[in-house]
Structure 1
């Protein structure tokens, strides 16, 4: 079910993972990854209840959608675990060195993911991993690192 979850299913997974963590219940592998991401984002803990399943965070209001942000972290964790697209792990390592920490590096990667998706939508094509990797290389250079 988590391979292509609905918005509500994805949100429920974050909420349930957090509830299991706070109750001290055993966590599955993916739940442990989710909890690690959540622990780096205490500002989103207040949204981890059923009360927020239907809430929207329109970009024009200026708020970040916490579930989208957390989902992007999760996507990046998956990319890094399997080095897909090929070379993303090396760019992440370079970004970590250039940015000074893993969390900042992941936020730069999120920007790159968003830009790649924007390009795909604009050209009505599939996301191009070459664009994503080029963006990451540019970000490494911008932070003074080596690609």
Structure 2
């Protein structure tokens, strides 16, 4: 199983951004990443400078979002939906996307649920609860 480091993730997204800017061919996962990068022009400056991206790993700025984590979560949710793992996530995200009238906004809601599931798993020292994750996404999709 591939376990990328924080530096690997940053280099991947910076490389994808550079390839997209240069019009170079990309692998399927890079194309998907590029589509999410396009949805976030506010991250383009950070993605354009791989050296700064690697240096900034050591400095956490309070109140500032991490574009690499954010884009990684978009990719994770896209992959989860493509294989419907955990079972039911595809339908839950589709329902949420329909309700929000935006796949992008649906992903942002699902990210809240994914982050909550990971945090609770780490805090309790137990495996992630996929059912709780899907329930959370479905709640976002069905609440008034």
* Both structures adopt the same fold (TM-score exceeding 0.5): yes
The one-character-per-residue Cα deviations of 1:16-59 (angstroms, maximum 9, x if unpaired) are 11111111111111110110010000000010122121214637
2 CA distance for matches of 1:127 and 1:133? 11
Moved over 2 A (4+): 56-59
1 CA distance for matches of 2:60 and 2:8? 20
Confirm or deny that 1:140 pairs with 2:106.
no
1:77 alignment partner in structure 2: 78
1 CA distance for matches of 2:23 and 2:137? 37
2:37 alignment partner in structure 1: 38
1 CA distance for matches of 2:122 and 2:4? 21
2:109 alignment partner in structure 1: 108
Secondary structure class of the residue paired with 1:89: helix
Q: Shift of the alpha carbon at 1:100?
A: 1.5
**How many residues matched?**
141
TM-score, length of structure 2 as denominator length: 0.93
- Structure 1: runs of 5+ lacking an equivalent: none
- Structure 2: runs of 5+ lacking an equivalent: none
Q: Shift of the alpha carbon at 1:8?
A: 0.5
2 CA distance for matches of 1:139 and 1:58? 30
Secondary structure class of the residue paired with 2:55: coil
Secondary structure class of the residue paired with 1:79: helix
TM-score, length of structure 1 as denominator length: 0.91
Among residues 57, 60, 75, which one is paired with 1:58 in the alignment? 60
Secondary structure class of the residue paired with 1:77: helix
